[in-house]
Amino acid sequence: MLTRKIKKPIQQDFFKGKAIILVGARQVGKTTLIQEIQAQMANKHTTKYLNLDNAGDLDRLTNVNFEDLNRLFANTDIILIDEAQRLTSIGLVIKILVDNYKDKKQIVATGSSSINLLDFTSEPLTGRKFTYHMFPLSLQEIYKDQSALLKGYESNLIFGFYPEVVKTAAVEDKIRLLRELATSYLYKDILEFQDIRNPEVLGKLLQLLALQIGSEVSYSELGSSLGLDYKTVERYINLLEKAFVVFRLSSYSTNKRREVSKNKKIYFYDLGIRNTIIDNFNPVSLRTDVGQLWENFLIMERMKYRDYNNIYAKQHFWRTYDNSEIDLVEDRDTKLYGYEFKWKKRVGRAPQSWQEYNNSEYIVVNQDNFSDFVFS
């Protein structure tokens, strides 16, 4: 069984007088994780699990006051609420529980997107919650050591990191699972909770984004291709980001005359989903987009690595108007770290204009040293 890196920090935050909010895409393992925690702690604590996809459980938390909640949870130490975004008043319900029980009980709520859950809980739970983001599996969770990593990582560039996909051995079965994920789950929360008049456009937008990873994205150009205005494209991308399908990288700039300051790049949380969208499961050796895969792979795995190792940094890309460029900039500890990603084993020199930043480093990440960047 794979041990999730996020499990121990969550348990360490139990009984501190705050709710734990766990968000992440569908099928990344949130329910499995909280049920593991429930089973592990059941010998010392009483627990109650509610899944708000279940109409009966949803009704038990609808239009309730503290007296109703206390009857339901009076003899419970750990309250686990799965798919909490189903209840629009979930923020108020959790607030009532936290304010009355404080550190005597632990409330954990999960949500398969941040479209509603973080919106519903943001104001009511100010100062009353710890929020965790659960990603698909990380390299550190899959591979026991660097030797295993170096033998297996190319598969992750094609099939990604969803737990069920990783655990499945046959290529045909991996592809079937990914297609099921991409068709049945990818847009589910968006379509259920948002007013999307033309769902087919979401699929077409994702295809365009999947072909442009690593490139700066123009909302106006995307709109022209899709017959949408700029604001609608922006809204759709924002929804896809809240559903943990894609994420945006903004540009780093302190010199607006020389450096690009407004553009965005868009990457996918999981490359298996990206490759499913463009229907390309060819191995790395046959790909023409391996540079794009490598860039998305390293940026995403670095995000997981920082998150699980408590490394705080603002992340950007960097480009000047004369086309000097760095794939990833980390702004951390009052220093700038510029990372350039090369699939082939090449070492480059830092752009001259980058060297003008006094407190900065420039690192080329390739197949020889990437494990130090995302694994060790």
**CATH no. for residue 250?**
1.10.10.10
- Give the per-residue pLDDT at 372: 94
Pairing of strands 335-341, 360-365: parallel
Q: Report whether pLDDT(85) > 90.
A: no
Q: Report whether pLDDT(119) > 80.
A: no
- Give the per-residue pLDDT at 114: 61
**CATH no. for residue 67?**
3.40.50.300
| Statement to judge: residues 169 and 301 lie in one domain | yes
Q: Report whether pLDDT(5) > 80.
A: yes
| Statement to judge: residues 62 and 163 lie in one domain | no
- At 4, is the pLDDT very low, low, confident or very high (cuts 50, 70, 90)? very high
| Statement to judge: residues 209 and 274 lie in one domain | yes
- Give the per-residue pLDDT at 262: 80
List the Cα angle 29/155/151 in 5-degree steps.
Answer: 110
Instruction: Measure the CA–CA gap between 335 and 332, rounded to whole angstroms.
Output: 6
| Statement to judge: residues 168 and 116 lie in one domain | no
Strand partners, 320: 259
Residues 35-45, mean pLDDT to the nearest whole number: 95
Residue 291's alpha-carbon distances to 189, 327, 330, in angstroms, are 31, 11, 20
Tally of domains in the chain: 2
Helix (H) / strand (E) containing 48: strand 47-51
226-269 confidence digits (pLDDT tens)? 999 999 999 999 989 988 999 999 999 887 678 777 889 999 99
**Residue 375: inside a domain:** no
- At 16, is the pLDDT very low, low, confident or very high (cuts 50, 70, 90)? very high
Instruction: Measure the CA–CA gap between 360 and 337, rounded to whole angstroms.
Output: 6
264-286 confidence digits (pLDDT tens)? 999 999 999 999 999 999 999 99
Instruction: Measure the CA–CA gap between 220 and 230, rounded to whole angstroms.
Output: 5
Per the structure, the complete domain to which residue 103 belongs is given by: 7-133
Helix (H) / strand (E) containing 223: helix 219-226
| Statement to judge: residues 144 and 90 lie in one domain | no
Q: Report whether pLDDT(116) > 70.
A: no
Q: Report whether pLDDT(54) > 90.
A: yes
Instruction: Measure the CA–CA gap between 222 and 190, rounded to whole angstroms.
Output: 20
**Which is more confidently placed, 127 or 193?**
127
| Statement to judge: residues 67 and 154 lie in one domain | no
* Structure-token match 């999981």, residue found: 270
186 residue type, one letter: L
| Sequence-separated (6 or more) residues with CB below 8 Å from residue 256 | none
The strand order across the sheet containing 335-341 reads 216-217, 264-268, 246-251, 314-319, 325-332, 335-341, 360-365
**Residue 265: inside a domain:** yes
- At 135, is the pLDDT very low, low, confident or very high (cuts 50, 70, 90)? very high
| Statement to judge: residues 26 and 104 lie in one domain | yes
147-168 confidence digits (pLDDT tens)? 999 999 999 999 999 999 999 9
- Give the per-residue pLDDT at 104: 96
| Statement to judge: residues 164 and 94 lie in one domain | no
**For the CA atoms of 218, 221, 222, 225, what is the dihedral angle to 10 degrees?**
-170
Residues 115-142, mean pLDDT to the nearest whole number: 84
| Statement to judge: residues 86 and 194 lie in one domain | no
What DSSP assignment string belongs to 132-155? EEPPSPPHHHH-SSHHHHHHHHHH
**Residue 327: inside a domain:** no
Beta strands in 112-212 (DSSP E): 129-133
Q: Which of 284, 308, 332 is the last residue of a domain?
A: 308
